[in-house]
Chains A and B, each alone.
Chain A
Amino acid sequence: MVTETLLEAELHRLAGSVPDPELPVLTLDELGVLRGVRVHGPDKVTVQLTPTYTGCPAIEAMSADIERVLHEHGVAEVSVVTVLAPAWSTDDISDEGRRKLAEFGIAPPRHSGGPGGPVPLTLSVRCPHCGSTDTELLSRFSSTACKALRRCVDCREPFDHFKEL
């Protein structure tokens, strides 16, 4: 990856601070979907964004929000392009992002380790309400494409789990 200039780093920070439209506790930077910012000339910027899921409808709202923030910062021409490779993974969510998810009541994804890495341990999913590790899967699909629905066996509360991708 080409090193960003100071201006690009500044614009990256701005674009990255935009909250996710469906999980507003997370910024796009913490979600790990912002892939790069390029300045092509005076007032002309390209932002690379990667979707979490191919059909994720939030990507259009993300693009519009990034454009708005950069326009407000004085950039006249902003184009947001979608990049697919390398594919987004829940491993791209930052540690701070994971902490915020748990605080928000969504169990964060476990680390997948990635291809070729060490074989990951299958750790249980911790209940974000009472902290118990005794939880069960209710459905692999939940309120959005990126979440699964689980229930805590101890406190009986259902909760969303950001499933590993």
Chain B
Amino acid sequence: MSAALALGDDALVLSHRLGEWAGHAPVLEEEVALANIALDLLGQARMLLSFVGDEDELAFLREERSFRNLQLVEQPNGDFAHTIARQLYFSVYQHLLYERLAAGEGEFADLAAKAVKEVAYHRDHAEQWVLRLGDGTAESHERMQRGLDGLWRFTGELFEPVEGVDVDWQALRDGWLAAVTSVVERATLTPPSGPQSGAWAAGAGRQGLHTEPFGKMLAEMQHLHRSHPGASW
């Protein structure tokens, strides 16, 4: 159950963050793209959370400490480059992880086999934008670098083993680092070199410890359901 909760919460929380771009994206095509990616993630979240229990109760009635998502996905959107950096780090991770799950025979193999094809598009979207912003103007280059640097310290947690997810975590980490480094270098950017986590942060999201912006996000996400229990459209 902890595995479905961890992977489901990753998808749910990132879906909500991407949904916050509605009405604010820099161009119409991106408005549509980010909403489409959010929709894919929401579909994955619904299926994963349904393994655990009632999807609505889990999404809207849990307290912050009961969420098992990575701290990376709960980070605020920032500017567009910041969001793209988060997309790069997460979609490469999710793509590599789901590829492995799809090849196995675990509980999530069917779902992963389906979702991995969607996630391949998310990853491609993020990589194309990193290349375009990094190798673009001085301003876009600087902002893209800032986004990559700012979120780097949340990437160590991606490779904390999740109970019930049977993959080679070290190989996943190596594959992720090689893929991210390759894109970042092609984009004429510098791969961040600082620590991927502090002792305070390692695996914290998976244990229910979250960063300050997450509580505010949850308040907005859960407010309607909690104020009007049982309401429907």
A contact residues vs B (CB 8 Å cutoff): 51, 53-57, 84-89, 138-143, 145, 149, 163, 165
- Answer whether residue B42 sits at the interface, using C-beta atoms and an 8 A cutoff: yes
Is chain B's interface secondary structure helix, strand, loop, or mixed overall? Answer: helix
Chain B residues within an 8 Å CB radius of A142: 32, 36
Pick from A53, A84, A149, A165: contact of B111, CB under 8 Å: A84
Which residue of B43, B47, B114, B121 contacts A87 across the interface (Cβ within 8 Å)? B114
With A54-B43, A55-B44 known to touch, is A140 a contact of B113 (CB < 8 Å)? Answer: no
- Tell me whether A55 and B42 are in contact (CB under 8 A): yes
Q: Is the CB of A53 within 8 A of B29?
A: no
Q: Among residues 96 to 110 in chain B, which have CB atoms less than 8 Å away from a CB atom of chain A? A: 109-110
Identify A56's interface contact among B33, B43, B109, B111, CB under 8 A.
Answer: B43
Nearest B residue to A145 via CB reads B36
Q: List 17 A-B contacts (CB under 8 A).
A: A51-B114, A54-B46, A54-B47, A54-B114, A54-B118, A55-B40, A55-B43, A85-B113, A85-B114, A87-B117, A138-B29, A139-B29, A139-B30, A140-B33, A141-B36, A141-B37, A165-B117
Q: Is the CB of B43 within 8 A of A53?
A: yes
Query: How many interface residues does B have (CB within 8 Å)?
Result: 27
Residue of A nearest to B39 (CB): A55
How far apart are the CA atoms of A55 and B119 in the complex, in Å? Answer: 12
Pairwise interchain contact B110-A143, C-beta atoms closer than 8 A:
no
Binding site for A on B (CB under 8 A): 29-30, 32-33, 35-37, 39-44, 46-47, 109-111, 113-115, 117-118, 121, 124-125, 128
Q: Which single member of B39, B115, B124 contacts A140 (CB below 8 Å)? A: B124
Contact with A139, one of B32, B39, B117, B118 (Cβ below 8 angstroms)? B32
Given the complex, which residues of A lie within 8 Å of B125, measured CB to CB?
140-141
In the assembly, what is the distance between CA of A163 and CA of B105, in Å?
28
On chain B, the residues within 8 Å of A86 by CB distance are 113
What residues of chain A lie closer than 8 Å to B114, measured between beta carbons?
A: 51, 54, 84-85, 87-88
Complex: how many Å from CA A88 to CA B121? 16
The DSSP consensus for interface residues of chain A is loop
* Distance in Å: Cβ of B31 to nearest Cβ of chain A: 10
Contacts of B121 in A (CB 8 A): 140-141, 163
Cβ contacts under 8 Å, A139 to chain B: 29-30, 32-33
Q: From residue B187, how far is it (CB to closest CB) to chain A in Å?
A: 18
Residue of B40, B114, B117 with most chain A CB atoms under a 10 A cut-off? B114
Q: A141-B35, A145-B39 are in contact. List 20 more A-B contacts (CB 8 A).
A: A51-B114, A53-B39, A53-B118, A54-B47, A54-B114, A54-B115, A55-B44, A85-B110, A85-B114, A87-B110, A87-B113, A139-B33, A140-B124, A141-B32, A141-B121, A142-B32, A145-B40, A149-B29, A149-B32, A165-B118
* Beta-carbon nearest neighbor of B34 in chain A: A141
Return chain A residues, CB-CB under 8 Å to B39: 53, 55, 57, 145
Residues in A with CB closer than 8 Å to B115 are 54
* B residues less than 8 Å from A149 (CB atoms): 29, 32
Residue from A57, A88, A145 with most neighbouring chain B CB atoms (10 Å)? A145
Contacts of B110 in A (CB 8 A): 84-85, 87
A54 and B111 form a contact (CB under 8 A):
yes
Complex interface: chain A residues within 8 A of B35 (CB): 141
Q: How far is the CA of A139 from the CA of B35 in the complex (A)?
A: 13
Tell me, rounded to whole Å, the shortest Cβ–Cβ distance linking B27 to chain A. 9
Known A-B contacts A85-B113, A87-B110; the reply to A55 vs B33 at CB < 8 A is no
